[in-house]
């Protein structure tokens, strides 16, 4: 005797062997050895070791036991309550709540088995052909800020010593010639780094003070300006020891022969003589160090003023950017006093550290942007998993409902020896360890097995 029940379900039950009403278990008067097979798997990963075609009764029963299962939500981001974005739908006619009211349980139930294989829910798409399985997140892209172009104003032009006594930055003397603890009286422009274009060269002595013979300037980046930007030097040039320089350290007549030389104001409050673009009525002002543009000069930095005061015979950018061997060679070619040597080494140390600090801060900001992007991606993945869980629960409810119907149908196929059907109220289907199914009277137990 074998009866097969086919339905619209993705699987069917087949009764293997006759119902042996006299095979008593637990003192019952009847039992069943029905082997139920499923024509298709219902849940992937639920029982990976099992044949695609065989479902034990316990497994099927386990499906009916499935409640909500947890989705781990212990990510690094905040574990806020998940708000389903889709309204609940009812399936079938069982009146079952699609979402169980009872919270997820931690007991080793079949639900836990689902947890283990949850990541493999790709197969679950067979029940959800329209399920989106991508985790991409297109709506949370972070516009990574474009790195601000590092302004590279030229190092300071030679400043007429008369100007050293002017204004806030020039108190009539070179402040803190030797001391590192002096006030920072001006924001120096970013010192050129190996990664940045080196613009200009600062010389504190007449140009003859360091010739191309000092250092191999043919390969020295400090002498290359591939992206020279014309700038207005009308009030920022200065002269030193009879030589006029642009702020970038280049001779005026070499690069701007048409520009008129102008006298640097003697004081900050004195308008530059014959200043073409600055009306006399407008007091001369030092350019704001924070708003200096590429190629613009500004107030001397502390180290620059020190270098001027000690007559360091080579530009700051060389001091800072030359390789150590070239730097030492440069020092060896000049007879420097101890104070000069100390200052030069301090300038080199501070200059390199300043660039390092700038790079460090830039990296820090980039890391923040990167982490924000990752955070958005994780949030998108969390939302996607939550939607998957919701769909899973809905399909589970459908299966439970349909299985209940099938259960009743199977039960209806069973007859006792007199051909009478068994009552669902009195009997339930149970499965033994060998997979056999039995009808168990609800008032008895299987302890006697």
Partner DNA sequence: CAAGATTGTCATTGT
Partner DNA sequence: GCACAATGACAATCT
- Which positions from 286 to 325 touch DNA by CB under 7 A, shown as an x/- string? --xxxx---------xxx-------------------xx-
Give the number of C-alpha atoms closer than 13 A to the C-alpha of residue 4, restricted to the C-beta side. Answer: 7
354 binds DNA (CB under 7 A): yes
Specify the residue, 19 or 330, whose C-beta has the smaller distance to DNA.
330
- Token pair of 201 as six digits: 């060269």
CA dist 69 and 71 (Å) reads 7
Residue from 41, 350, 402, 441 in contact with DNA (CB under 7 A): 350
Specify the residue, 306 or 400, whose C-beta has the smaller distance to DNA.
306
Residue from 183, 229, 408, 424 in contact with DNA (CB under 7 A): 183
274 in Cβ contact with 264 (< 8 Å): no
Residue from 180, 208, 212, 417 in contact with DNA (CB under 7 A): 180
327 binds DNA (CB under 7 A): yes
Rounded to a whole number of angstroms, the minimum distance from the CB of residue 119 to DNA is 34
Q: Find the binding residues for DNA in span 249-288 (CB under 7 A).
A: 288
429 in Cβ contact with 439 (< 8 Å): yes
Rounded to a whole number of angstroms, the minimum distance from the CB of residue 151 to DNA is 8
CA 215 to chain centre: 44
394 binds DNA (CB under 7 A): no
Residue from 187, 263, 311, 337 in contact with DNA (CB under 7 A): 187
185 binds DNA (CB under 7 A): yes
Closest CA relative to residue 232, chosen from 287, 283, 271, 193? 287
Q: For the chain, state the CA radius of gyration.
A: 43
Specify the residue, 79 or 360, whose C-beta has the smaller distance to DNA.
360
Rounded to a whole number of angstroms, the minimum distance from the CB of residue 239 to DNA is 25
CA dist 59 and 7 (Å) reads 19
Residue from 154, 189, 200, 313 in contact with DNA (CB under 7 A): 189
Query: Among the candidate windows 96-104, 181-189, 217-225, 369-377, which touches DNA by CB under 7 A?
Result: 181-189
Rounded to a whole number of angstroms, the minimum distance from the CB of residue 264 to DNA is 20
CA dist 166 and 265 (Å) reads 9
Rounded to a whole number of angstroms, the minimum distance from the CB of residue 203 to DNA is 19
Rounded to a whole number of angstroms, the minimum distance from the CB of residue 374 to DNA is 18
227 in Cβ contact with 197 (< 8 Å): yes
Is residue 325 within a helix (H) or strand (E), and if so which, with residue range? Answer: helix 324-332
Specify the residue, 163 or 301, whose C-beta has the smaller distance to DNA.
301
Rounded to a whole number of angstroms, the minimum distance from the CB of residue 213 to DNA is 22
- Token pair of 257 as six digits: 């022969």
Exposed e or buried b per residue across 185-222, where buried means at least 16 C-beta atoms within 10 angstroms of its C-beta: bbebbbbbbeebbbbbbbbbbebebbeeebbebeebbb
Query: Among the candidate windows 29-37, 104-112, 176-184, 202-210, which touches DNA by CB under 7 A?
Result: 176-184
Number of chain positions touching DNA (CB under 7 A):
38
353 binds DNA (CB under 7 A): yes
425 in Cβ contact with 24 (< 8 Å): no
- Token pair of 204 as six digits: 């504190």
DSSP letter (8 states) at residue 339:
H
How far, CA to CA in Å, does 357 sit from each of 50, 149, 344?
61, 16, 20
The three-class DSSP label of residue 364 is helix
CA dist 233 and 237 (Å) reads 6
Residue from 194, 206, 283, 421 in contact with DNA (CB under 7 A): 194
Residue from 184, 277, 281, 433 in contact with DNA (CB under 7 A): 184
- Which positions from 355 to 374 touch DNA by CB under 7 A, shown as an x/- string? xxxxxxx-xx----------
Only one residue has tokens 């008369």, namely 162
For the CA atoms of 395, 398, 403, 409, the dihedral, rounded to the nearest 10 degrees, stands at -150
Residue from 45, 157, 163, 188 in contact with DNA (CB under 7 A): 188
349 binds DNA (CB under 7 A): yes
Rounded to a whole number of angstroms, the minimum distance from the CB of residue 361 to DNA is 6
Strands (E), 305-392: none
- Token pair of 176 as six digits: 């803190």
What are the backbone angles phi and psi of residue 369, rounded to the nearest 5°? -60, -40
Specify the residue, 92 or 289, whose C-beta has the smaller distance to DNA.
289
Rounded to a whole number of angstroms, the minimum distance from the CB of residue 305 to DNA is 10
Binding site for DNA (CB under 7 A): 180-181, 183-190, 194, 288-291, 301-303, 323-324, 327, 346, 348-361, 363-364
């Amino acid at each position: 005797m074998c009866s097969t029940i086919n339905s619209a379900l993705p699987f069917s039950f087949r009764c293997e062997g006759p119902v042996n009403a006299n095979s008593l278990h637990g003192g019952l008067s009847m039992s069943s050895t029905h082997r139920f097979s499923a024509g298709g798997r219902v849940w992937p990963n639920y029982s990976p070791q099992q044949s695609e075609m065989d479902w034990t009764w316990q497994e099927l029963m386990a499906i009916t036991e499935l409640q909500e299962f947890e989705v781990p939500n212990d990510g690094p981001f905040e574990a806020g309550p998940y708000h389903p974005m889709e309204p609940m739908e009812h399936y079938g006619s069982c009146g079952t709540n699609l979402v169980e009211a009872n919270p997820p349980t931690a007991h080793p139930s079949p639900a836990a088995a689902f947890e283990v294989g949850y990541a493999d829910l790709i197969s679950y798409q067979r029940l959800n052909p329209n399920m989106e399985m991508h985790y991409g997140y297109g709506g949370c892209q972070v516009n990574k800020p474009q790195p601000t172009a590092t302004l590279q104003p030229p190092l300071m032009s030679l400043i007429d010593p008369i100007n050293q006594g002017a204004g806030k930055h020039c108190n009539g003397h070179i402040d803190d010639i030797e001391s590192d603890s002096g006030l920072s009286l001006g924001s120096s422009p970013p010192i050129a780094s190996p990664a940045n274009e080196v613009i200009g060269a600062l010389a504190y002595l007449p140009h003859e003070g360091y010739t191309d013979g000092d250092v191999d300037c043919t390969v020295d980046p400090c002498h290359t300006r591939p992206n020279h930007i014309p700038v207005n030097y009308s009030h920022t040039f200065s002269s030193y020891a009879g030589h006029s320089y642009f702020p970038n350290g280049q001779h005026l007549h070499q690069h701007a022969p048409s520009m008129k030389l102008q006298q640097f104001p003697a004081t900050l409050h004195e308008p530059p003589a014959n200043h073409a673009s600055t009306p006399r009525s407008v007091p001369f002002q030092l350019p704001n160090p924070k708003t200096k543009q590429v190629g613009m000069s500004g107030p001397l930095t502390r180290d620059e003023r020190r270098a001027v005061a000690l007559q360091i015979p080579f530009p700051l950018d060389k001091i800072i950017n030359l390789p150590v061997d070239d730097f030492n060679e440069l020092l060896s070619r000049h007879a420097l006093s101890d104070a000069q040597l100390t200052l030069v080494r301090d300038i080199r140390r501070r200059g390199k550290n300043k660039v390092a600090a700038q790079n460090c801060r830039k990296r820090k900001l980039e890391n923040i942007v990167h982490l924000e992007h990752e955070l958005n991606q994780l949030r998108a993945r969390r939302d996607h998993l939550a939607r998957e869980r919701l769909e899973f629960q809905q399909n589970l409810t459908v299966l439970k409902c349909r299985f209940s119907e099938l259960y009743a149908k199977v039960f209806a196929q069973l007859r006792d020896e007199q051909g009478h059907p068994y009552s669902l109220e009195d009997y339930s289907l149970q499965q033994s360890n060998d997979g056999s199914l039995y009808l168990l009277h609800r008032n008895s137990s299987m302890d006697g097995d």
